[in-house]
Structure 1
Amino acid sequence: MKRDKISVVGFMGSGKTTIGLLLANFLNYFFYDLDEYIEKKEGKSIKDIFADYGEEHFRNLESFYLKELIEKHNKIVISTGGGIIKREINRKLLKEKTFVVFLDGSFEVFMNRLEGTEEKDKRPLMSLGKDELYNLWISRKPLYEEVATLKINVDSKTPYQIVREILDFYGKM
């Protein structure tokens, strides 16, 4: 089982960046937020990439940079974007090359976390209506489950409780 590459997946608002950074700090691993990595490499925000080139172009960049991070680094935690699992190539890469933590929970909790935050404005898909976002969440859930090494419901847990649960499971491998 892969132990030196961890990826964190889940829907927007699930806490991927918060948990990924905390987990990396506990393990003394490097941390990469894939969306921030793409923005740095491309010199543009995700929102601008979507607006200028469309979602397909963004998904191509996402696949390219995910592969780059996994191939070039050891002892890393990668916080992915919520849509990383849309492509089979990404699911295969995550599943075969990383220990995948799926942060599961309820749609309402995730949306409440994003309400009134600047994060909401950074996310191109937040412009969709609530019904469309809900359908997106429902359609992605089986894909997150498909790649997950570990699935954690995050609704009523603190970030530290979630990381402790990951470390407990990870340590037993």
Structure 2
Amino acid sequence: MNIVLMGYMGSGKSLIGRTLSEKVKMEYLDLDDYIEIQEKKTISDIFSDKGEIYFRKRETAHLIEVLKKYDNKIISLGGGTPCFLGNLEILKEDSNVQSIYLQTSLEELTKRLLPERHKRPLIAHIDTFDGLMDFIRKHVFERSFYYNQSNHIIKTDQKDANQISEESIALLF
């Protein structure tokens, strides 16, 4: 089984993926890191050089590749991965995939993302807490339709990585 973590940027997919990996002794793969290695460019550079549409097409190709190539992995997706180009259907149709949506409140996402916004192409231009919260609110509203189709949903607010990992284990094993 591949365990796929999805959720908005800043929801803790990478941290939970690494923590869960240690607990269940499965290898961890971050799809964004995988894309950067394969494309030999950072996500930010891909966005700025080729645009979001190009990136989303490459993201889908790499997602398909990863699901075919690997088994028994914990895979964290980019925040938008399940929302574009049929990626959610690819995940849902793969009987080897169990997906978990890490659901995080708008306030918590904004607190986490404001200090690191310059590293994230979609929000690098937003300078205020309120502006970022409005942006996140709109995005999460648009994306929640996709996220909520995951096999499992875990609310992450006021929980640490160990608690979320233990909750994931209880759902999956």
TM-score in terms of structure 1 length: 0.91
What amino acid is the match of 2:135? E
Q: 2: CA distance between counterparts of 1:113 and 1:67?
A: 30
Alignment partner of 1:153 out of 152, 155, 164: 155
**CA-CA distance at 1:88 after TM superposition:** 4.9
Instruction: List aligned pairs for 1:16-165, cutoff 5 A.
Output: 16-97=13-94, 98-117=97-116, 120-126=117-123, 127-128=125-126, 129-130=131-132, 131-146=134-149, 148-165=150-167
Question: Is the 8 Å Cα contact of residues 30 and 76 (structure 1) preserved in structure 2?
Answer: yes
CA 73–86 in structure 1, closer or farther in 2 if over 3 Å, else same: same
**CA-CA distance at 1:157 after TM superposition:** 0.6
User: C-alpha deviations, 1:10-45, integer Å up to 9, x for none?
Assistant: 001100000011112212111111111111111111
**Partner SS for 1:135:** helix
Runs (5+) with no aligned partner, structure 2 = none
CA 23–64 in structure 1, closer or farther in 2 if over 3 Å, else same: same
Residue in structure 2 matched with residue 168 of structure 1 by the alignment? 170
Q: 2: CA distance between counterparts of 1:94 and 1:111?
A: 28
Question: Is the 8 Å Cα contact of residues 20 and 31 (structure 1) preserved in structure 2?
Answer: yes
Question: Is the 8 Å Cα contact of residues 6 and 101 (structure 1) preserved in structure 2?
Answer: yes
- Number of paired residues? 165
Q: 2: CA distance between counterparts of 1:116 and 1:88?
A: 30
CA 57–88 in structure 1, closer or farther in 2 if over 3 Å, else same: closer
Question: Is the 8 Å Cα contact of residues 46 and 122 (structure 1) preserved in structure 2?
Answer: no
Percent identical residues: 36
Runs (5+) with no aligned partner, structure 1 = none
Q: Which moved more, 1:122-131 or 1:49-58?
A: 122-131
What amino acid is the match of 2:108? V
**Partner SS for 1:151:** strand
Question: Is the 8 Å Cα contact of residues 9 and 144 (structure 1) preserved in structure 2?
Answer: yes
